[in-house]
Amino acid sequence: MPSKRISGRQLRHGAPEENLSPGQSLVIEKRGGKRFELTRIDAGPANFNEQMDQIFREIPPEGKRVKTNLARLLLEDRE
């Protein structure tokens, strides 16, 4: 895994993690000798349909089911 080194001062004056590629890490060395490592991890592209399915599973339906004819409703609204 490729890594890059910067100082704590450079970290305070910018957002270097935004310039990293997925999987690339950044080592920050402070004057006191402390070292930190930031690694960019991307979850991948979000799938809207999967997110909506998850929301509908988490929120249970309430009340009686009502069948709706959307085409009829649109035609009625236009008239």
Domain ranges across the chain: 3-39
User: Check: CATH 3.30.70 for 3-39?
Assistant: no
Instruction: Evaluate if residue 68 carries a pLDDT over 60.
Output: yes
pLDDT at residue 18 in the model: 64
Reported as a single tens digit per residue, the pLDDT across 10-59 is: 666 666 666 777 777 878 787 888 888 878 777 777 788 888 888 888 88
Mean pLDDT throughout 60-72?
83
DSSP strand pairing (25-29 vs 3-7): parallel
Whether the predicted pLDDT of 73 surpasses 80:
yes
Q: Tell whether pTM > 0.75.
A: no
pLDDT at 8: 62
In this structure, the number of other CB atoms found within 10 A of the CB of residue 3 comes to 12
Beta partners for residue 58, in sequence order: none
